Structure 1
Amino acid sequence: MIGGSISRWTMTYFAAALTWLLAALALMVAGIGHPAADLAAPDTLVLVHVVCIGWLSIAMCGALFQFVPVLVAQPLFCERWALPALALVTAGLVSLLAGFMALGARLPSAPWLLPLGAVLLVVGFGLIVVDLGLTAWQRPSGPARFVLVGLASLCATAAFGAVFAFALAGWAGRIGDAVLARGIPLHAIAGLGGWLTLTAMGVSYRLLSMFMLAPDVEDRKSRITLAAGALAVATTVGGGAAAVGFELGLNMVLSIAAVFGLVCAALYGRDLAGIFRARKRRQLELNMRMAMLSFASLAATGLLGIALVATRTLSAHLGAFAFLAAFGWLSGLVLAKLYKIVAFLTWLETYGPVMGRAPTPRVQDLVAESRATKWFAIYYVSVWMGTLALLAAQPGAFRMAAAAMTVGVVGIIHEIIRIRRLEDVALPLRLPAGAVAPHLLFAKT
């Protein structure tokens, strides 16, 4: 690839992330966590961290190890750190989840599990932040700036989370208890809004332009969009921390941050519209059509937030708002792009070395879009139905929607495995002379 080689461990990150996604769906189908439990209950904390760390963060890191070198046309700072970082993050998450389960009396009391998990996660994500940050810093232009702000938000998220973990274990003193009591919204916004959303925006700029043969978004426009998003995160983290420290209210800080966040989302929509208008590939592939549904879910999340604030019911329906953001916007976009990224990287790994020396298939020959479409449709419709079920306070209907989501996700994973195994490539072109079949879980190059 231009600007970097194929990342050896990206597929490993994707496989781990999809495994955690299935675990999260199993928890929801089983009725563990919200809405069966309170948002602050240990069971809900288990579910939230499986989704945000196990699924979304690990998937995002895997994509960044591949695409940050492409964004800056520089090799990754240290490829060797990727696998140890994944091991540390996985071990930290398992320890953290065990600590939450102990809090909920599902496991014997073990207060040390939470601080241990926090330390492992901080070290694991620290390796990732340094590796990706030093790579992106070499040429911080366009989408790479979004990644840098996203990585900074990840640091803030991890810092808040570590304080919470030590406070829950009784090891953080009075200050830690104060942060735990009032800082959870800051932790959530820094994670979902800063780390995951801003990073997803930055990567999507490059992927959309690349896969639709469109020019990159004008640098001035993307800078303004990023500035609005960065101000939202900075207001939340900086202003929120000051408010907690001086024992002031958070409403004003969060209101200002929400305005910046809505401006950022609106400007991002403007940028996306420009990419779609300028594209040379007029017929949209499946990953782009499905990404449009995730963009629609982002818009719906913003409108839902406005409606809930206007009717003063945000606290009552915070679970529905977070669910639509996590599964309609972020998870939908990640699944749509995984479908294309896996095909693209598999093609590069398998057929790139023999290009010009033997007949090779196109990237689109690795996929079966007509078959995969139904799984994405099941997923998105189920997410929207799950959101409505949460708004209507119908936990039984929500579990049914989660079960349908599971069907869609299992179907999508099956399609991704077929891509990786070249099962939809015509036999005469599947493995030309000199080509080597890819490994399912890692790149051989």
Structure 2
Amino acid sequence: MIGASIARWTMSYFAMALAWLFVALALMVAGLGFPSAHLASADTLILVHVVCIGWLSIAMCGALFQFVPVLVAKPPFSEKWALPALGLLTAGLAALLAGFLGLGGRLPASLWLLPVGASLLIGGFGLIVVDLGLTAWQRPVGPARFVLAGLASLCITATFGAIFAFAHAGWAGSIGQSMLASGVPLHAIAGLGGWLTLTAMGVSYRLLSMFMLASDVDDRHSNMTLMAGALAIAIAAGGGVFAIWLSAGLNAVLSVVAVLGLVTTVLYGRDVLGIFKSRKRRQLELNTRMAVLSYVSLAATSLLGLMLVLSSAFAAQVGAFAFLAIFGWLSGLVLAKLYKIVAFLTWLETYGPVMGRAPTPRVQDLVSEARASKWFVIYHAAVWFGTVMLLIGQATAFRAAAAMMTVGIVGIIREIVRTRRLADVESPMRLPDGACAPHLLFARN
């Protein structure tokens, strides 16, 4: 990474994603959406899309713009597309949410906003898929293959979403209505399981190895993990659409996908354990320790899903399962790595140009792990508490858990802003001759 180019707009993506995370937490604290409303309600659709597009997808895209060129050791295809893509995603999500508000009767019905929002989102994600896909395709090895599989899953997710949006507006005919009636689980699997999870797995391989000074995962092992995950998404998309076309139901398809998903999780756990065992850095940094908590949530999600299926309670408790997967596993991992990525990129931007010419601090000198650790613990404890409250049907207590999560997120963001402002770096090393303080929302170079 030393000497590597810094993606100019990665911090802008992170800032926008965190802003949407605040919106999601505010909605949960206010009781909008599940569990106060049905999973299929317009209010829940608003909450789900704020989290999955606004928070997780935008954060993931920001990280990929920086790290895909690193994964393949090649320059990005076109860095100029990053900012227009962010604008399209923001406008598209806003239009989509306005359409959902009309669908739920909270605004005058303007269902045409749903296709408009979907089209804008496809435009934004399309720029990202082409840019990152062509960059990764220059050297499609190792973790880059997970990114390519994730981007393919993003295309599937966006296609399903567009069909649903046009169907809600009455513009998709009988086929679109059939997909809307039965295909929502396929949309969720492609988005959460394919786009977000496979991509997070691939990026985590590189970040864990880099930050712990560990050996890369053996290609044979990572290939098995990727094949299991990609096969699950392919069966969900292809087999699911075929089953809907035949009016045969999705139970058989979803059962196969669930087994493959569990296999993928187990194989990924094996790969991560291998990285930890081979690490040369014995003292784990905060971002890695907090990533471990997200892996605990991933294991708990898999165990919870298995128990719910065996007890025939999965349909009744799918909200608790999804909440733990989204906020415990995916959001927990993103927050842990975002904390480190911001510090690392800030160090590269500020002190990389003067290395060897002036005394510079370490990356760890930009953060205060002792102060930040309590916010991560509060966040994860709140997520686990919220999951239990969903399982036992305590909506009011769940809102209290969401408030606790908000406290943790506020603390984490405060630490990230302090890192970006170099607030914990002592003089005279804070800004040696030739170094420039970084801008909060974008990279100067």
2-side partners of 1:25 and 1:109: how far apart? 26
Aligned partner of residue 109 in structure 1, secondary structure:
coil
Alignment match, 2:416: 416
2-side partners of 1:365 and 1:202: how far apart? 28
Contact 2:2–2:348 (CA under 8 A) maintained in structure 1: no
Contact 2:2–2:352 (CA under 8 A) maintained in structure 1: no
**Aligned runs of 1:85-96 on 2, under 5 Å?**
85-96=85-96
Contact 1:3–1:73 (CA under 8 A) maintained in structure 2: no
- 1:47 has 2:47 as partner: yes
Alignment length (residue pairs): 445
C-alpha deviation, 1:33, in angstroms? 0.3
Alignment match, 2:399: 399
Aligned partner of residue 71 in structure 2, secondary structure:
helix
2-side partners of 1:200 and 1:334: how far apart? 8
**Aligned runs of 1:187-202 on 2, under 5 Å?**
187-202=187-202
Identity %: 74
Alignment match, 1:240: 240
- 1:338 has 2:338 as partner: yes
Aligned partner of residue 315 in structure 1, secondary structure:
helix
Alignment match, 2:10: 10
C-alpha deviation, 1:428, in angstroms? 1.4
C-alpha deviation, 1:245, in angstroms? 1.1
The TM-score normalised by the length of structure 2 is 0.99
1-side partners of 2:300 and 2:237: how far apart? 25
Alignment match, 1:214: 214
C-alpha deviation, 1:3, in angstroms? 8.4
In structure 1, give the amino acid aligned to 2:13. Answer: Y
The TM-score normalised by the length of structure 1 is 0.99
Alignment match, 1:261: 261
Alignment match, 1:32: 32
**Aligned runs of 1:8-157 on 2, under 5 Å?**
8-157=8-157
**Aligned runs of 1:228-377 on 2, under 5 Å?**
228-377=228-377
1-side partners of 2:238 and 2:296: how far apart? 30
Contact 2:294–2:328 (CA under 8 A) maintained in structure 1: yes
1-side partners of 2:310 and 2:263: how far apart? 17
- 1:438 has 2:438 as partner: yes
Superposed CA RMSD in Å reads: 0.7
2-side partners of 1:280 and 1:111: how far apart? 56
In structure 2, give the amino acid aligned to 1:75. Answer: P
In structure 2, give the amino acid aligned to 1:95. Answer: A
Contact 1:92–1:119 (CA under 8 A) maintained in structure 2: yes
Contact 1:163–1:176 (CA under 8 A) maintained in structure 2: yes
1-side partners of 2:251 and 2:4: how far apart? 45
Aligned partner of residue 316 in structure 2, secondary structure:
coil
C-alpha deviation, 1:263, in angstroms? 0.5
**More displaced, 143-152 or 1-10?**
1-10
Gaps of 5+ in 1: none
Gaps of 5+ in 2: none
**Residues 4 and 317 of structure 1: CA distance in aligned 2, closer, same or farther (over 3 Å):** same
2-side partners of 1:13 and 1:193: how far apart? 22
Aligned partner of residue 428 in structure 1, secondary structure:
coil
C-alpha deviation, 1:427, in angstroms? 1.5
2-side partners of 1:302 and 1:401: how far apart? 22
**Residues 133 and 3 of structure 1: CA distance in aligned 2, closer, same or farther (over 3 Å):** farther
